[in-house]
């Protein structure tokens, strides 16, 4: 954990210059006209990513709702740093919004760890019931006291392994360096499967795969294609080990101090529209990505998921030992069939009056 935190600090310092120049020019770039409030949103996705498209859509919706007086200025592609950097910038009020996946967010608030638990969701329907239901919505506001919270959740479907050689079972991960997001739960998952977890920023993974810094990575099919990872890791093993939501995060400082109640309402409305818009992109994008991969000669491998599930069982034992995580896990598992069980409600809700 110490190594992980120090590497995060190193990534952070790389972007210190950006951070200072942003602070210095903050007032100049805050608005496009005297009456326009412009919120800065930086993220690590490329412009083909569905979440980036949903954020563009959100800005268009805000433009309409506010008659041009409330806009989002988007800095994509990791130009202001990777996810952990931009999440920290939110905490310091340097930028207003960013995208964080539950993987990055686990480092800021352990409540998000649950979404990094492998084989948590049975199907995309199960994911949607949880992430857009009461449990998921409560988790979104959990980190408010840490200076940020989520205002939109985005669907991500299943992540699977892809490598430079075929992966059929956890045995094939032995000695393999696997690019992961920074979640401690995911890092543990790879260790339990026998691989060597290597946290690397999303935008640096192509080069890491190409140069053999890592032997494999994991993601859903659209991200595998959008990032061109399929050019350097030609075997896609459909083990479907996780489905980790992306979130649009906003700084608590921005929410409380920069916006009127009217503007907050517009942001909530636009955020909901962008969530719905992103969901409509999924099926089409997933099919297109698989098609592109097949045409380029990628080998899709159907695997028996059971040995993967068995390898990570200690993680489930770890989560059930933790009372809060155990409650969450039971609630989420009960939603698999669409029959939620009653249970204690989540605490840790935002306490300020302008809560989302």
Q: What does the binding site for ligand GCU look like in residue numbers (CB under 6 A)?
A: 44, 51, 83, 99, 101, 156, 181, 202, 219, 223, 246
H/E stretch holding 301: strand 299-301
- For residue 46, the 8-state DSSP code is -
Least distance (Å) between residue 205 CB and ligand GCU:
7
Q: Which is nearer to ligand GCU, 135 or 180 (CB)?
A: 180
**Sign (positive/negative) of CA torsion 42, 48, 49, 53?**
positive
Burial classification of residue 302, based on how many CB atoms lie within 10 Å of its CB (0-12 exposed, 13-18 middle, 19 or more buried): exposed
Least distance (Å) between residue 231 CB and ligand GCU:
17
β-pair partners for 41: 74, 97
Least distance (Å) between residue 206 CB and ligand GCU:
12
Q: Which is nearer to ligand GCU, 224 or 263 (CB)?
A: 224
- For residue 36, the 8-state DSSP code is -
Least distance (Å) between residue 83 CB and ligand GCU:
6
Q: Which is nearer to ligand GCU, 263 or 278 (CB)?
A: 278
Q: Which is nearer to ligand GCU, 65 or 130 (CB)?
A: 130
Q: Give the C-alpha separation, 175 to 160, whole Å.
A: 18
The helix-helix angle for 313-321 and 323-334 (nearest 10°) equals 120
Phi, psi of 150 (to 5 degrees): -95, 140
Q: Which is nearer to ligand GCU, 111 or 227 (CB)?
A: 227
Q: Which is nearer to ligand GCU, 37 or 143 (CB)?
A: 143
Least distance (Å) between residue 99 CB and ligand GCU:
6
Count helices and strands (H / E) in the chain.
Answer: 16, 11
β-pair partners for 121: none
Closest among 211, 229, 215, 243 to 292, alpha carbons compared: 229
Q: Which is nearer to ligand GCU, 126 or 229 (CB)?
A: 229
Q: What angle do CA 291, 295, 300 make, to 5 degrees?
A: 70
């Amino acid at each position: 954990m110490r190594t992980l935190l120090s590497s995060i600090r190193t990534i952070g310092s790389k972007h210190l210059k950006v951070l200072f120049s942003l602070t210095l020019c903050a007032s100049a770039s805050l608005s496009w006209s005297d009456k326009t409030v412009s919120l800065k949103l930086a993220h690590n996705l490329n412009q083909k990513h569905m979440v980036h498209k949903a954020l563009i859509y959100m800005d268009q919706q805000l433009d309409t709702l506010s008659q041009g007086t409330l806009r989002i200025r988007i800095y994509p592609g990791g130009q202001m740093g990777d996810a952990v950097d931009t999440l920290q910038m939110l905490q310091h009020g340097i930028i207003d919004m960013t995208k964080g996946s539950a993987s990055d967010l686990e480092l800021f608030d352990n409540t998000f760890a649950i979404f990094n638990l492998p084989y948590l969701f049975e199907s995309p329907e199960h994911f949607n019931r949880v992430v857009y239901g009461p449990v998921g919505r409560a988790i979104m506001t959990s980190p408010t006291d840490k200076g940020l919270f989520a205002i939109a959740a985005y669907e991500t479907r299943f992540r699977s392994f892809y490598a430079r050689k075929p992966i059929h079972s956890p045995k094939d991960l032995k000695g393999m360096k696997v690019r992961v997001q920074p979640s401690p739960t995911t890092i543990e998952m790879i260790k339990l499967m026998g691989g060597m977890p290597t946290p690397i920023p999303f935008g640096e993974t192509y080069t890491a795969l190409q140069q053999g810094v890592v032997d494999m990575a994991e993601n859903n099919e659209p991200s595998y294609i959008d990032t061109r990872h399929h050019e350097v890791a030609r075997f896609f093993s459909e083990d479907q080990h996780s489905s980790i939501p992306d979130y649009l995060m906003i700084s608590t400082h921005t929410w409380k101090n920069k916006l009127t109640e009217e503007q907050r309402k517009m942001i909530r409305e636009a955020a909901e529209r962008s969530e719905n818009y992103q969901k409509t992109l999924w099926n089409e994008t997933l099919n297109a990505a698989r098609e592109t991969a097949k045409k380029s000669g990628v080998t899709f491998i159907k695997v028996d998921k059971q040995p993967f599930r068995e390898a990570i069982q200690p993680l489930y034992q770890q989560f059930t030992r933790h009372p809060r995580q155990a409650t969450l896990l039971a609630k989420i598992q009960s939603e698999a069939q669409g029959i939620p069980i009653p249970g204690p409600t989540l605490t840790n809700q935002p306490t300020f009056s302008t809560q989302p």
